[in-house]
Amino acid sequence: MFEVIIGLEVHVQLNTNSKLFCSCATSFGEAPNTNVCPTCLGLPGALPVLNKQAVHKAIMLGTALKSKINQKSVFNRKNYFYPDLPNGYQISQFEVPVVGLGELVIDFEDGTSKKIGVTRAHLENDAGKNIHAGDVSNVDLNRAGTPLLEIVSEPDMRSAEEAILYLKKLHSIVRYLGISDANMQEGSFRCDVNVSIRPKNDDKLYTRCEIKNMNSFKFIEKAIHYEVQRQIEAWEDGVYDQEVVQETRLFDPEKGETRSMRGKEDAADYRYFPDPDLLPLIITDEMIEKYSQIPELPDEKKQRFINDFAIKDYDASVITAHLETANFFDEMMKEGISGKNATTWLTVELPARFGEGVNIENSPIDAKTLATLVKRIEDGTISGKAAKEVLDFLIEKPENSVDFVIDELGLKQVSDDGAILEIIDGILATNQDKVEQYKSGKDKLFGFFVGQTMKASKGSANPQKVNELLKQRLS
């Protein structure tokens, strides 16, 4: 039996207006090589100037991860030669990062949790992008110099499940803080996955392989499963030392496998040395005090929802996993409705009606409209079944109000005792034999009377009133 050891290096692209060391824009999707200048092109004589907005965002993340903020940190040159790295080196942090030791807590479905250590988070500039088309490779340097915050975990994760929980939690925190759009498709949130195995009860760390530049939770999970199995098979076949070497690997999503990309460099291979063009980064007490005032985080919001709205722990986890869903729920609760009902309609009924490309962010139904629909169920205006019809209508024609649709479709419940009693008396009169059977002990016939009453009212009778009045008539 083997134990899996996983550590993650997450690269978060910070949403600053300009790049880390120059004033070029960081916008995505521009024509290739238009957001560039002498500094991010690495031209001789161009000097870097640190973007203080990136420093502020690093302090915010460090606060969220309960990390030590190093008030003096140093920028280094990390030397390597790729076509998309115009300087021939990356400006990064090595010995002393801006954010030191911290932690992140992951939660499992069974209610248990686990603390994952965070080793560090350091600032660095991104490389450009290689674009391969057949026999031709082009280089786009628009991304070169974009500010990254690299968050390095301790090797504390023991399964693909734990790694995905860690990544989703970190992704959520970054979005809540507002320091990055964390768009995985655009590469704003991507990670390198370090995987190794060891026999159970062995405390030694064996050779790790790094799976590079992953930006999909689904593919990360598949890549880990494949890599773990590959290493186990190599161990069991007696070829571990030949097959598992320290290297960088890529994941092929079409074949579902990892394959070797290049030998993994050690720190010495990068020939780190302090960048002579940049002074040490000094963070003042005032900066820490100002930028450690961060928004409500997922765990805090989850506990507030549980305490204030009496929803289940699991439901609160689902709602707070995404910032937009949590904000939607908060807006719904301003209308004074039940937390339980709001949860059902937000997490089950509404998403079930979303078409392709539609989600809570671009939902045609806003929070106040959905809350009003829930309110109309709670005040007895319509039944839960009728509310689904209303929601179906609103998805297609969201410009209408809930009350207009209820009237338009004729779905308002009849709650008037006299009107309902008139229907009930008619049902009982035509089913005297069943009335006698019910009174002689066949209690299950009560459902028959409810069904007949609802049918006769064409579903408009308030079910609660029907039950109350039938019990009175049959007692």
Question: Would you state the pLDDT for residue 426?
Answer: 85
Q: Is residue 211 a contact partner of residue 258, using CB atoms and an 8 Å limit?
A: yes
- Residue 15 CA, chain-centre distance (Å), reads 17
Question: Would you state the pLDDT for residue 424?
Answer: 85
Question: Would you state the pLDDT for residue 431?
Answer: 87
Question: Would you state the pLDDT for residue 19?
Answer: 97
- Cα–Cα distance, 309 to 340 (Å, whole number): 8
Question: Would you state the pLDDT for residue 268?
Answer: 65
Q: Going residue by residue through the chain (475 aa), what tens digit of pLDDT does each one get? A: 999 999 999 999 999 999 999 999 998 889 999 999 999 999 999 999 999 999 999 999 999 999 999 999 999 999 988 889 999 999 999 999 999 999 999 999 888 899 999 999 999 999 999 898 889 999 999 999 999 999 999 999 999 999 999 999 999 999 999 999 999 998 899 999 999 999 999 999 999 999 999 999 999 999 999 999 999 999 999 999 889 998 999 999 999 999 988 776 665 678 999 999 999 999 999 999 999 999 999 999 999 999 999 999 989 999 999 999 999 999 999 999 999 999 999 999 999 999 988 999 999 999 999 999 999 999 888 888 889 999 999 999 999 999 999 999 988 877 667 777 888 888 888 888 888 888 878 888 888 888 888 887 777 777 777 888 888 888 7
79 closest CA partner among 275, 270, 264, 265:
270
Question: Would you state the pLDDT for residue 267?
Answer: 59
Question: Would you state the pLDDT for residue 428?
Answer: 86
Question: Would you state the pLDDT for residue 452?
Answer: 87
Burial class of 436 by CB neighbour count within 10 A (0 to 12, 13 to 18, 19+): exposed
Rounded to 5°, angle at Cα 49 from 45 and 55: 155
